[in-house]
Amino acid sequence: MKTLSPEEEIDLTLKNPELKEILETDSRFQPLFDYIDQFKLKKDHILISIILPAYNEENSIKQVLENLPHDNSIEIIVIDDKSTDNSVREIKNVNGKAKLKLLRHKKNRGYGGAVITGIAHAKGDVLVTMDSDGQHCPEDIFRLVEPIFNGEADFTIGSRYLGSNYYDLPIKTRLGEAIIEKVLKLFFGQKIMNNQNGFRAFSKKLVPIFKKARYQGFAYATETIILTLVNKNKIVECPVKVYDRKHGSSKIDMLELMLDLLSCFLRYNFGKIVKIFAKRNQK
Ligand SMILES: Nc1nc2c(ncn2[C@@H]2O[C@H](COP(=O)(O)OP(=O)(O)OP(=O)(O)O)[C@@H](O)[C@H]2O)c(=O)[nH]1
Ligand SMILES: [Mg+2]
């Protein structure tokens, strides 16, 4: 898929003298910093890129960004997908810490489109995606990236079923998730329960594969699972916490998502479906 050049790329890394103090006092991420240090080959080596697609998250985005692990080996890329609220102002007001970049789309391209833009700009060995609405817990990043750094997985997906759930899940979302789970198991051989969770991590070797994704909306989350399995890479679900949204509302258009998913499953299963019909006709 073609990546449109973002309208604007703004480096929000502040040369703030207080920065060092903020970094040093944030002990929540010390286990993560200590762990990734062993993989650092040179001073400016980026080990992790955290990608956050954002659309109309003015009430949460600043806090979410300030709460992330800020370190010189970790870059944070937030993609504003042509928000119509004050998200961009809020992002620009973030207290400067380590590497933080804002990319702005010229027009709204959807969840997948924003992640693809983020991926195209990421320099890390391991890429993490998470939501901008505060539903994910930044301390869980360690759980997601560790299996990738140690070679146990190529792609990890956060699971509230293995971790903890404080999220009052709408029934239609649960239903959609259950249907996708069955279809993935049937056609691609792996059971992934929390398959729509946007809190994930993957090795940079998957970047060329994910860039080929065709669905720019929320179906991108399922398409990347399919692309990973079709290309014989390993997916592992990891326990994470998922919270309820405190502000704003869900951007998911269920009908649009279901139609996209149907077309996505047909696209990747076309060969198998044709074979099934061919066999039936032979009988
Ligand atoms: N770039 C981009 N991001 C989007 C778009 N719609 C939603 N997002 C972001 O994608 C993430 C997930 O979207 P949500 O609407 O929170 O989906 P959800 O978490 O399944 O639904 P809720 O539980 O109701 O919040 C959030 O960070 C949104 O800001 C969009 O059109 N473009
Ligand atoms: Mg959400």
Return the CATH number at 188.
3.90.550.10
* 16: in domain: yes
Give the pLDDT of residue 166: 85
CA–centroid distance, residue 148 to ligand 1 (Å): 25
Instruction: Kindly tell me if the per-residue pLDDT of 170 is higher than 90.
Output: no
Give the pLDDT of residue 283: 56
* 2: in domain: no
Exposure pattern of 108-140 as b/e (b: 16+ CB <10 Å)? bbbbbbbbbbbbbbbebbbbbbbbbbbbbbbeb
Pocket of ligand 1 contains residue 133 by CB under 6 Å: yes
Give the pLDDT of residue 51: 98
Task: Give the residue among 255, 260, 276 at the shortest CA–CA distance from 226.
Answer: 260
Domain that holds residue 143: 7-282
* 94: in domain: yes
Comparison of pLDDT for 57 and 97, the residue scoring more: 57
Give the pLDDT of residue 190: 96
List, edge to edge, every strand of the sheet that includes 126-129: 8-11, 100-104, 74-80, 48-54, 126-129, 200-203, 155-166, 235-243
Instruction: Kindly tell me if the per-residue pLDDT of 1 is higher than 80.
Output: no
Q: Which atom of ligand 1 is nearest to the CA of 54?
A: 29
Give the pLDDT of residue 246: 79
* 113: in domain: yes
Compute the average pLDDT of residues 253-262.
Answer: 84
- Residue 81: pLDDT band with limits 50, 70, 90: very high
Instruction: Kindly tell me if the per-residue pLDDT of 3 is higher than 70.
Output: no
Give the pLDDT of residue 173: 84
Q: 252: Cβ–Cβ under 8 A, 6 or more apart, which residues? A: 173, 218
* 226: in domain: yes
Instruction: Kindly tell me if the per-residue pLDDT of 40 is higher than 90.
Output: yes
Pocket of ligand 1 contains residue 108 by CB under 6 Å: yes
The CA distances from residue 165 to 194, 222, 235, in Å, are 11, 21, 21
Pocket of ligand 1 contains residue 112 by CB under 6 Å: no
Pocket of ligand 1 contains residue 55 by CB under 6 Å: yes
Instruction: Kindly tell me if the per-residue pLDDT of 274 is higher than 80.
Output: no
C-alpha span between 200 and 198 (Å, rounded): 6
Which protein residue has the closest C-alpha to ligand 1 atom 12?
Answer: 131
Least confident of 9-18, 77-86, 229-238: 9-18
For the chain, the domain total comes to: 1
* 1: in domain: no
Q: Which atom of ligand 1 is nearest to the CA of 173?
A: 20
Which protein residue has the closest C-alpha to ligand 1 atom 18?
Answer: 250
Give the pLDDT of residue 20: 55
Q: Which ligand has the minimum distance to the alpha carbon of residue 250?
A: 1
Which protein residue has the closest C-alpha to ligand 1 atom 9?
Answer: 54
* 35: in domain: yes
Query: How high is the mean pLDDT of the chain?
Result: 88
DSSP state of 244: P
Compute the average pLDDT of residues 156-160.
Answer: 97
Least confident of 23-32, 155-164, 198-207: 23-32
Pocket of ligand 1 contains residue 81 by CB under 6 Å: yes
Pocket of ligand 1 contains residue 245 by CB under 6 Å: yes
* 270: in domain: yes
Global model pTM greater than 0.85: yes
Compute the average pLDDT of residues 111-119.
Answer: 95
Give the pLDDT of residue 251: 76
Comparison of pLDDT for 25 and 77, the residue scoring more: 77
**Best of 115, 121, 172, 251 to mutate for ligand 1, by most ligand atoms within 8 A of CB?**
251
C-alpha of 67 from chain center: 17
**Best of 133, 166, 171, 175 to mutate for ligand 1, by most ligand atoms within 8 A of CB?**
133
- Protein residues with C-beta less than 5 angstroms from the ion ligand 2: 131, 133, 135
What percentage of the chain reaches a pLDDT higher than 70?
88
Least confident of 137-151, 225-239, 242-256: 242-256
Which protein residue has the closest C-alpha to ligand 1 atom 24?
Answer: 250
Give the pLDDT of residue 12: 74
